[in-house]
Structure 1
């Protein structure tokens, strides 16, 4: 399995391996975080929700400055220190006692993780040839799915045990994963910092085509929330399918991503072909929404069959759309500002995650099959506008490069 999800030797293999180490701890912590906060730290559900919201808002507003930091200080340096700092920050969760200490620790954790994430994207842009970036990102995503699944299995053992010492061991294991990630960063090729004179600070905020791409893509990637949040509730309230079908669908998605994410990058050579791949992915997700809509009022066997078909279409759309987005995000960004551009790109998904759960729940659970149809049309429209948005971005990039050459 390891040889199948690791790319050929070189910078890409080290990038992928480091990401696997990081995501092993991340997968474990994501699965127990909320339960640890409520059962061991004794937060109320409302306090947990407030702390998660505040931390997410801080990460959102800091994403561009943290990406800019990676450009100016050097992405390898920022990645290394971000994950080295995450080790003691994670271990500090052993000592939190109440709302304020939990809020402070998790907020700083979120900032450090986002800084490392932005820097890692800049490392990929610097150390991987342009034509190979989407394929390397595909290897990384497949590897993340494998190691996060392992982490989730470890979390299941922790939750089944239910003792404080089990949670403490899980926190220390996560901290060790972050420590190893920081130390392994030293094995990566160094990337020199970009002098401030190479471009104005936060130039991405004046790059309208890239901001348009970020907005459209951020709306498209909300489809990831369908399987985690909306579909389980849909299965319960609107279908005759058994409750365990939600787990089957998630398992199908994970296995599909691991098996086919790398193949999904075929034919994606530049932003133009990537925009059409994003359109294809959006079309598959839209069709999946229609399959899910058809499960309402059907019998058990037909509902299960339609859910599986929808899950497969959703997974195909997810991997194709993701492959297109990576290429667009890298190639529309100037080389001297990859950090801040990748930080901006991450903001699109962050904003979508803020409003999508409530909107999707009201639209689909509240309105029934018509909600799925509205969502299908929305994804189809977003996919259809992506080629035009990317074409405008390419024209803007060419104009900027011509102006720089003549200056």
Structure 2
């Protein structure tokens, strides 16, 4: 089990701020959709459409705010995004129809995307010799916070009243505001020296953009356990419905216990690329086992699903660790926020488009769709090491380097 409380200093402040933030996030992730459908009485289709719109309009903001954090100071920019997110989330209690819902959720989602980019220079500055490993540590803390938030959200769902759901939303907003307040204890992050050349260098870095695209495809895996597996378990298997909670519990416990350990051996871009390759194979095996659970007896379906979840989570550990490594190691220090803002585009697209894709392939199409999704992950994992090699060549090349990407990948 990793040591979850860092030594006193900036890392402890960052971890505390992250913990408070994720407790609030856990409240919303567990029951946010239920608030809008059961309490505000918006149709589920409108809620899905609004969330998709919010995900798409938030994509580019992270790049601009990340650049602002690089040049103006990350602590203040990050704290501002948390305050905006708190205010936007509090605005959910005023939502009574579709368009106010879209405006509020767009504001909250954009602030979240901006905050993830603005936080990256902070992690790089105070993450020690291995900020990638500290990022893995924060992911373990994140899972603990979300789990606690989910337990608290269970009360609101059980009570089911409009007031209970509004208290859940207010608690979420308070968590974001408290996370910003904790940052007061963090020393300011001094902006790095201004470097000449193009302003938006991350958008000109073709190898990094390719890795971002590959990570975005791989990031669809995060929706497998939260979207595809619950629907598949209920509609296509004889496994008991309570197993949905069991799959999430197994996933959370493994991530908390092993994410830091999984990241320690991934200490270079090349090992990061190899981690993507291993994760793709794990996802292929997991998806195949899930497909086989259809039509099996209840005990066999449950065994196949639980085994698949364990294998999927191992792949998730490798994917996350590989992403932490390549996203930081291949980003120049003076433009960390901008580069990590670009890297977030992939995950943002997966967030917006992944659920619909998984439902179309795995649920509507059925068993063949699971094999297709698994193969997509495996092929993406195989491409990642090639993209990393190209990025490393690009890092060491002269700015006028113009060798063909295909030639470099084949080298």
Q: Shorter-chain-normalised TM-score: which range?
A: over 0.9
**Other-structure match for 1:121:** 120
Partners of 2:29 and 2:20 in 1: how far apart? 15
**CA-CA distance at 1:308 after TM superposition:** 1.3
Gaps of 5+ in 1: none
1:137-171 CA distance string (max 9 Å, x none): 12111111111011111111011112232223222
Aligned residues: 401
**Other-structure match for 1:63:** 62
Q: More displaced, 92-101 or 294-303?
A: 92-101
Distance 1:203 1:376, change over 3 A: same
Q: Does 1:319 align with 2:321?
A: no
1:78-126 CA distance string (max 9 Å, x none): 0111112333332233333333333222222222222222111221122
**Other-structure match for 1:349:** 347
**Other-structure match for 1:220:** 218
**Other-structure match for 1:50:** 49
Aligned to 1:5, the other structure's residue is in SS state coil
**CA-CA distance at 1:322 after TM superposition:** 0.6
**Other-structure match for 1:289:** 287
Retained in 1: the 8 A contact 2:56–2:348? Answer: no
**CA-CA distance at 1:402 after TM superposition:** 11
Partners of 1:128 and 1:174 in 2: how far apart? 27
Q: More displaced, 86-95 or 194-203?
A: 194-203
**CA-CA distance at 1:342 after TM superposition:** 0.8
**Other-structure match for 1:366:** 364
**CA-CA distance at 1:199 after TM superposition:** 4.7
Partners of 1:267 and 1:401 in 2: how far apart? 32
Aligned to 2:3, the other structure's residue is in SS state helix
**Aligned with 2:160 (options 154, 162, 172):** 162
**CA-CA distance at 1:378 after TM superposition:** 1.9
Q: More displaced, 303-312 or 326-335?
A: 303-312
Gaps of 5+ in 2: 402-411
Partners of 2:93 and 2:235 in 1: how far apart? 39
Retained in 2: the 8 A contact 1:220–1:382? Answer: yes
Retained in 2: the 8 A contact 1:80–1:182? Answer: yes
**Other-structure match for 2:71:** 72
Aligned to 2:239, the other structure's residue is in SS state coil
State the superposition RMSD in angstroms: 2.1
Aligned to 1:316, the other structure's residue is in SS state helix
Aligned to 1:201, the other structure's residue is in SS state coil
Retained in 2: the 8 A contact 1:272–1:390? Answer: yes
**CA-CA distance at 1:7 after TM superposition:** 3.2
Partners of 1:51 and 1:374 in 2: how far apart? 28
Retained in 2: the 8 A contact 1:145–1:254? Answer: yes
Partners of 2:138 and 2:119 in 1: how far apart? 11
Retained in 2: the 8 A contact 1:275–1:387? Answer: yes
- TM-score of the pair, normalised by structure 2: 0.91
Q: Does 1:185 align with 2:186?
A: no
